Structure 1
Amino acid sequence: MKHFKHYLRTVALVSIATVTAITLAACGNKKTTANKNNFRVGTVDALATLNSSRYSDISSGEAIQNAIEGLYRLNQKGKPVLAGAKSVTVSKDQKVYTFKLQTNKWTNGDPVTAQNYVYAWRKLADPTTGSPNSQNIDPLQNGQDVRLGKKPITDLGVKALNKTTLQVTLANPITYLNELLATAPYAPQDEAYVKKQGQAYGTSAAHAIYNGPFKVTEWTGTNDKWAFVKNTKYWDAKSVHINKISLTTVKSESTAANLYQSGKLDFIDLDNEYVKQYKGRSGYHVRKIPAIGYLNFNTKREATGNVHIRRALATGFNKTQLTKNVLQDGSTPLNGIVPANFVKNSVTGEDFRKYSGNLVPYDRAYAQKEFKERLKELGKKSLTLEFLSADTPEAKAVAEFMQSSYQKNLPGLKISVREVPLKQRLNFGHNYQFDIIYGIWSPDYQDPYQFITDGGAYHLNTDYKNPTYLKDVADANSTYATNPTKRWAALKDAEYQIVKKDAFTAPVFQGAYVYMQRPSVKGLAIDPNGTGLFFRDVTIK
């Protein structure tokens, strides 16, 4: 099953015409302020869905978290705080959480109830749903068994004690539950409304209802613009001071920069060339994030179903050249699926990436050896593979680099590149319509487990059968849940199995986020694990 969400918000790797550079230089000191009632944001990816059971991209996850409030939300500092729940009590064994809900309503007038959470979470776990985020349910009691179809959904560790009291039972104590419950997959759904909408639910702004600080408007399901408008029925509407946030898909960085400079956008992302021009200016921001660029391989096909081919593809390109010469945005090479400086061992203080080591660095000689070995087995002298990516300028630049690198470093390999809109790429990945697929992924909570059991890998839960890996992740999730030393050892071995031994997925780089934000905009929260924007506390001075 595909686990592929939070497609990194990143715009354009495009060449800049001289006239554009002159224009930017000329208006670089122009003072503009944001409209106090409308915060205007440029984004690269169009909105795909408002269904929390089905989303797999950053724009959709962002929209859901801004318009459909769960038990927790992220505050201005990116920390989870109670939101849809007004209080929580925890059992002595740290496994049973009892939440009292705020008095709140959906925009259709229905009350938000504990059963809304039970329905949504069971739907997330139900294998017939095919949710790309179903593995997020694993920490709940029987979560893994339910999503794998081994137990009925009624055995999931969530129960409505009454209309306003929700009981959540964990399989084992975890330290990141509040982070997890602040994410889009754990948003509630109004069962009566969702069932009435059927397949149309979440496919446009008109086919969804909202209980959060904003409601989504202006999105037809196919257009490139949408907006968040203040939800006056929200339980804490008095704390929301911005009336509207307008989002526009802008695929050209030069266009985005010009719109920002002319005062028509208040927030944009920056790519490599513009980083150089804007660095140090008012409104310029940069930060390292735990988002990763990765490759997946279709194990159902003859070529990429072979471990030697996958190992060659995982090690046959120069990551330093990619990050330094192509991306140029602060991204760095990554040789394991868990990023650096993401999480430290609570006992030793050691960063997981350092602890687990460099598993798949660029190694041309090794890649050629693995590739030649498989060609010999096939009795072939050449091989053609398709490289699938989104059609954003950043993805196109990466695809072109990979095509050139593979064909240069692996004699006999020909790469054809297919670039499609993000929504199509998601569907192609889900339906096995690729040889090699490139994407970017960021986590929901700070634990290596999510990268190792998800990390953007397509069909991981259904297709990857390595028994050592499966035992490792099961032990990390249960047997060693409260033993940090043994748990990390199990996760280290699991990462070795999936990345080094079997090359089921291949890390490429660790990302950075560079953006311009109008200085008059205050209170914007950005996901500490990625690039999602949270608008609840925004004010414009």
Structure 2
Amino acid sequence: MNKQLNKKVLLVMAMVVLVLTGCNFDSAKETDSNSNKNKETSEGKQVLNMVEASEIPTMDSAHAHDNVSFTVLSNVNEGLYRLGKEHKPELAMASDDQISEDGLVHTFTLRDANWSNGEPVTAADFVYAWQRVFKETGHYASMFETASILNATEILEGKKPVEELGVKALDEKTLEVTLAKPAPLLGQLLTFPTFLPQNQKFVESQGKKYALEASNVIYNGPFMLSEWKHDTSWKYKKNPDYWDADNVTLAEINVFVVKEAATQLNLYETKEVDSINLSSASVDQYQDNKDFMSIADSEIFFLRFNHNHKALGNENIRRAIDMSWDKKAHVETILNNGSLPLYGLVPKDFSSSPDGKGFRELNGDFNHGTIKEAQKYLAKGLEEIGQDSVKVTLTVSAVEGNDKTAEYLKSQIEKNLPELSVDIKLVPVEQRYELESAKEYDMVISAWGPDYIDPMTYIGMWVTDGSANRMDYSNTDYDALVEKINNENDPAKRYQMMLDAEKMLFEDAAIAPLYQRGLAVLQRSNIKGLVRHPSGPDFSFKWTRIEGK
């Protein structure tokens, strides 16, 4: 792309440095050795080479709350259920799930399976791990309430001890789970990493070192972590003692921590890795490549409004902002990675009704108006708050791509709604989350990836004082409807209630949806059976295989 030769030379040198830095190769000799090894194993053996943009934050399932941790934990450990090839829950560590007539008691029979240290996986391992989530004040302790586990709500509120959680080991291979009310989604929810088992004896023997290194964890899943070089890489190896090891083909998975998109692309082109997500800058160059795939993800991006803000607490001003910019042009020209414009809460192709109709198809688009309509809403809102102009700050995580989205939003809003001015505040991801939680922002670009495959994973976010609300939105009618949804067992009635709840949210213009994330992927055509999940872990490697060329 650069016309001058010296610029080309500098660019090539920079790329070489990035590759060496990103993969932490110590010398040219070692780089060549690793390169040849990876090429050989990728093409001739059952070895997969991947990249991640960040380190594993934690290997403790009681504390995990991010996609990287979820992906690793779900491949090296296994709960009562796991997500199958088609993203539906299937029995895993449990061989049977007997349900009482009233739907309140599930009796699970465990398979004959061992931890990687040779000890058997027992019902007590589940009791210990589930109670430990509460004792450790784990981020996802609320999932037990979502799953309707008996006394989970009371334990979260401090009204009952954790020992009264509705889970009991009847014997070594029989686990009894008691619910407060029937939970049609229980199997789906039990695939979530928070419900993984842990071996009490091992966890306590490690003390504060537990889960800090690959050797400080034991495994009962298809793979084990054989190596974990912090901030650099980790390695999975097939678990020979896994109960279903005969159906696991991959022998090894190498994951390199590479933050820069240009470095990832260079590693793919040199066959160091087998799959990457392209940046928007590279899509046009590679979209005709045989390895290129465009994937619609289920993660959504949206604007949170601080409802305590004088102007943004006004429904008409929020609605004006939502209508003031071209969402289609944004995904096509700024993101350029297969993302879709979003005019609702639940993304496209995520959920279908009992009669097979898509959620988005049924509810359609919200607040998809013209610039003139947006200007009318703004004028009405400004009159209601007694101001003739508004200045707001847009808080954004300082990660690749977000800055461009923020600049595009600022440009569109200020152009189409000249009474509004927007300042952009770039902060680290962790700080953005802290500011959200403290409600110390005006507007913030936020994201939500589903915890389970059901519209409630999005709809349940907005109840008054909910942990995911983080903007002081409150509608007592909405709260009551969510409660009814949680207690409705008729699938058709429940689905209609969820459609109604989404409509109510946008009648209030509570948030401004931005886009449904898309992934532009380069993946070698000889990789088969690599399952990408719409919720929970990003990948399941259990069914992956490398075919010969």
Tell me the amino acid that sits aligned with residue 426 of structure 2: E
Q: CA deviation at 1:206?
A: 5.4
The answer as to 2:360 corresponding to 1:353 is yes
Give the CA RMSD over aligned residues.
3.7
SS at match of 1:454: helix
Q: CA deviation at 1:374?
A: 5.3
Tell me the amino acid that sits aligned with residue 533 of structure 1: F
Counterpart for residue 193 of structure 2: 184
SS at match of 1:291: strand
Question: Relative to 1, partners in 2 of residues 1:343 and 1:174: Cα closer, same or farther, differing over 3 Å?
Answer: farther
Matching residue within 115, 119, 123 for 2:124? 115
Q: Which has the larger radius of gyration?
A: 2
Where does the alignment leave 5 or more consecutive residues of structure 1 unmatched? Answer: 1-15, 24-31
Matching residue within 496, 507, 517 for 1:489? 496
Question: Relative to 1, partners in 2 of residues 1:218 and 1:385: Cα closer, same or farther, differing over 3 Å?
Answer: farther
The answer as to 2:489 corresponding to 1:451 is no
The answer as to 2:296 corresponding to 1:288 is yes
TM-score (norm 1): 0.81
**In the alignment, is the contact (CA less than 8 A) between 2:71 and 2:536 conserved in 1?**
no
Counterpart for residue 71 of structure 1: 80
Matching residue within 314, 325, 334 for 2:322? 314
The answer as to 2:90 corresponding to 1:81 is yes
Q: CA deviation at 1:183?
A: 2.1
Q: Which segment drifts farther, 454-463 or 204-213?
A: 454-463
Q: Could you tell me how far apart the structure 2 residues matched to 1:407 and 1:420 are?
A: 22
Q: CA deviation at 1:443?
A: 2.1
Counterpart for residue 544 of structure 2: 538
**In the alignment, is the contact (CA less than 8 A) between 1:38 and 1:245 conserved in 2?**
yes
Question: Relative to 1, partners in 2 of residues 1:53 and 1:396: Cα closer, same or farther, differing over 3 Å?
Answer: farther
Q: Could you tell me how far apart the structure 2 residues matched to 1:127 and 1:370 are?
A: 49
The number of residue pairs the alignment matches comes to 512
**In the alignment, is the contact (CA less than 8 A) between 1:69 and 1:188 conserved in 2?**
yes
Greater RCO between the two (CA within 8 Å, min separation 6)? 1
Question: Relative to 1, partners in 2 of residues 1:282 and 1:535: Cα closer, same or farther, differing over 3 Å?
Answer: same
Question: Relative to 1, partners in 2 of residues 1:410 and 1:470: Cα closer, same or farther, differing over 3 Å?
Answer: same
Question: Relative to 1, partners in 2 of residues 1:203 and 1:155: Cα closer, same or farther, differing over 3 Å?
Answer: same
Q: CA deviation at 1:140?
A: 2.2
**In the alignment, is the contact (CA less than 8 A) between 2:148 and 2:183 conserved in 1?**
no
Q: Could you tell me how far apart the structure 1 residues matched to 2:395 and 2:282 are?
A: 27
Q: Could you tell me how far apart the structure 1 residues matched to 2:115 and 2:202 are?
A: 10
Q: CA deviation at 1:408?
A: 2.5
**In the alignment, is the contact (CA less than 8 A) between 1:270 and 1:515 conserved in 2?**
yes
Q: Could you tell me how far apart the structure 2 residues matched to 1:512 and 1:99 are?
A: 38
**In the alignment, is the contact (CA less than 8 A) between 1:106 and 1:210 conserved in 2?**
yes
SS at match of 1:166: strand
Q: Could you tell me how far apart the structure 1 residues matched to 2:249 and 2:378 are?
A: 58
CA deviations on 1:149-200 (whole Å, 9 max, x unpaired) are 2753455443322232112234554554333222222222334555666776
Question: Relative to 1, partners in 2 of residues 1:466 and 1:127: Cα closer, same or farther, differing over 3 Å?
Answer: farther
Q: Could you tell me how far apart the structure 2 residues matched to 1:424 and 1:163 are?
A: 45
Question: Relative to 1, partners in 2 of residues 1:352 and 1:157: Cα closer, same or farther, differing over 3 Å?
Answer: farther
Within 5 Å, which residues of 2 pair with 1:128-167?
A: 129=137, 131-132=139-140, 134-135=142-143, 137-142=145-150, 145-146=153-154, 149=157, 152=160, 153-167=162-176
Counterpart for residue 6 of structure 1: none
Q: CA deviation at 1:512?
A: 2.9
Tell me the amino acid that sits aligned with residue 519 of structure 1: S
Question: Relative to 1, partners in 2 of residues 1:535 and 1:428: Cα closer, same or farther, differing over 3 Å?
Answer: farther
Where does the alignment leave 5 or more consecutive residues of structure 2 unmatched? Answer: 13-38
The answer as to 2:449 corresponding to 1:442 is yes
**In the alignment, is the contact (CA less than 8 A) between 1:48 and 1:423 conserved in 2?**
no
| % identity of equivalent residues | 33
Within 5 Å, which residues of 2 pair with 1:135-534?
A: 135=143, 137-142=145-150, 145-146=153-154, 149=157, 152=160, 153-191=162-200, 193-194=202-203, 202=211, 205=214, 208-216=217-225, 218-219=227-228, 223-299=231-307, 304-347=312-355, 349-372=356-379, 375=382, 382-454=389-461, 459-460=468-469, 463-478=472-487, 480-484=488-492, 486-501=493-508, 503=510, 505-529=511-535, 532-534=538-540
TM-score (norm 2): 0.80
CA deviations on 1:367-389 (whole Å, 9 max, x unpaired) are 44554555556655554433333
Tell me the amino acid that sits aligned with residue 450 of structure 1: T
Tell me the amino acid that sits aligned with residue 336 of structure 1: G
SS at match of 2:401: helix
Tell me the amino acid that sits aligned with residue 267 of structure 1: S
Question: Relative to 1, partners in 2 of residues 1:417 and 1:249: Cα closer, same or farther, differing over 3 Å?
Answer: farther
Tell me the amino acid that sits aligned with residue 392 of structure 1: V
SS at match of 1:248: strand
Q: Could you tell me how far apart the structure 2 residues matched to 1:204 and 1:366 are?
A: 56
Q: Could you tell me how far apart the structure 2 residues matched to 1:327 and 1:314 are?
A: 18
Tell me the amino acid that sits aligned with residue 482 of structure 1: D
Matching residue within 99, 113, 116 for 1:104? 113
Q: Could you tell me how far apart the structure 2 residues matched to 1:219 and 1:499 are?
A: 45
CA deviations on 1:18-57 (whole Å, 9 max, x unpaired) are 879x99xxxxxxxx66152542112334432223333332
Tell me the amino acid that sits aligned with residue 81 of structure 1: E
Q: CA deviation at 1:475?
A: 0.8
Q: Could you tell me how far apart the structure 2 residues matched to 1:233 and 1:419 are?
A: 47
CA deviations on 1:257-278 (whole Å, 9 max, x unpaired) are 2211111111111244433333
**In the alignment, is the contact (CA less than 8 A) between 1:442 and 1:455 conserved in 2?**
no
